[in-house]
Each structure stands twice: as structure tokens, then as C-alpha cells.
């Protein structure tokens, strides 16, 4: 039997380190494009809204957070002029959220930053390595709902 390593491999630590660097690179890209106020939660919310307006509840459900957390994200974006909120005409309890013109520009800049980071990574590793990394990340998802959500993401080429 092979002797076990004294130090256990900590995939989560490496993943957290990579995520932290990714977020900082995103902020740098977006900042250079004139949006120095980028926050890491912005990308998910703004990209979601770039497809179509949504209610606070829909945003929370799509992000897997409470309505209260989604409301916080939206409030911060609204304060910075990226989204506008309006009460739903048929249900006054529902708050609908849409991008402003500046928010639409912000969404496009975020998309370009993500594309640039994806391309840079793909240039540094072999396609088979990217496929392997994708497989590992998908396998690390905790439950069927998360894995189904990942299935909607485009796999590497």
C-alpha cells in the first residue's frame, strides 16, 4: 500500500485562491473601461438583467440567495445608477428590476472582461487541461440542482 502524503491536498484552497485572483482581474478590466466601482456580486446580477428585466424574487432564485440578499444587490446597483426598480403594475408587492442605459454599458464591459479572461486562460493551457478542469469543477458541485445549472453553461471547446 502506498504511503499517504503528510499534507492533504486542499482543492478548495486552490479554488478560493484562483477565484480571488479572477475577481481582482475582473475589477481591473472593468475599472480600465471606466467602471471603477465594480463589485464582485455585480457580474452575476447585471449579466442576468442583460437578458431581460426580472423581479427581485427571480434574481434571488437565479442566484440561489434570499430575496433580502437579492434586494441588497439591487439596491447597491440602483444607488450607482445601473438599474431602475419599479413596482409591478399587477402586483404591488413585486419589484421589477431593469438595466439603465449605463447599466447596459456596464453589462457589456463585464461580458468583455469575462471573455478576455477566458481567452487568456485558454491560451495558457492545453485544451485537454481545460476540459479536465471543467470536469473537476462540475463534479465538485454539491447537488443535482447545481449540476443541472452547470449543464446550461457552455462547455469548453
pLDDT of 4:
62
Q: How confident is the model at residue 97 (pLDDT cuts 50, 70, 90)?
A: very high
Does residue 4 form part of some domain? no
For the stretch 136-150, pLDDT in tens is: 988 888 888 888 888
Query: Mean pLDDT across the chain, nearest whole number?
Result: 91
* Residue 97 belongs to domain with CATH number: 1.10.10.10
Number of domains into which the chain is organized: 1
- Is residue 68 over pLDDT 70? yes
- Give the largest Cα separation in the chain, rounded: 69
What's this model's pTM, rounded to 2 decimal places? 0.84
Q: How confident is the model at residue 2 (pLDDT cuts 50, 70, 90)?
A: low
For the stretch 104-144, pLDDT in tens is: 999 999 999 999 999 999 999 999 999 999 989 888 888 88
Does residue 30 form part of some domain? yes
C-alpha cell read off for 25: 482581474
Does residue 32 form part of some domain? yes
Cβ atoms 28, 43 nearer than 8 A: no
Does residue 46 form part of some domain? yes
Domain with 54, as residue range(s), is 13-124
Does residue 151 form part of some domain? no
Does residue 29 form part of some domain? yes
CA 44 to chain centre: 4
DSSP assignments along 24-38, one per residue: HHHHHHHHHTT-TT-
Does residue 148 form part of some domain? no
CA 118 to chain centre: 13
Higher pLDDT, 48 or 152: 48
Does residue 144 form part of some domain? no
Amino acid at each position: 500500500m502506498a504511503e499517504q502524503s503528510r499534507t492533504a491536498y486542499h482543492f478548495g484552497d486552490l479554488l478560493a485562491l484562483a477565484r480571488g485572483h479572477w475577481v481582482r482581474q475582473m475589477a481591473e478590466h472593468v475599472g480600465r473601461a471606466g467602471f471603477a466601482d465594480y463589485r464582485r456580486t455585480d457580474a452575476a446580477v447585471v449579466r442576468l438583467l442583460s437578458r431581460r428585466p426580472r423581479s427581485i424574487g427571480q434574481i434571488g432564485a437565479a442566484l440561489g440567495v434570499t430575496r433580502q440578499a437579492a434586494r441588497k444587490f439591487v439596491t447597491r446597483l440602483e444607488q450607482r445608477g445601473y438599474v431602475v426598480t419599479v413596482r409591478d403594475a399587477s402586483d404591488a408587492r413585486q419589484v421589477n428590476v431593469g438595466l439603465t442605459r449605463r447599466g447596459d454599458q456596464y453589462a457589456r464591459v463585464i461580458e468583455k472582461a469575462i471573455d478576455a479572461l477566458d481567452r487568456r486562460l485558454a491560451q495558457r493551457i492545453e485544451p485537454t487541461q481545460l476540459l479536465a478542469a471543467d470536469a473537476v469543477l462540475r463534479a465538485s458541485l454539491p447537488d443535482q440542482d447545481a449540476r443541472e445549472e452547470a449543464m446550461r453553461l457552455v462547455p469548453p471547446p
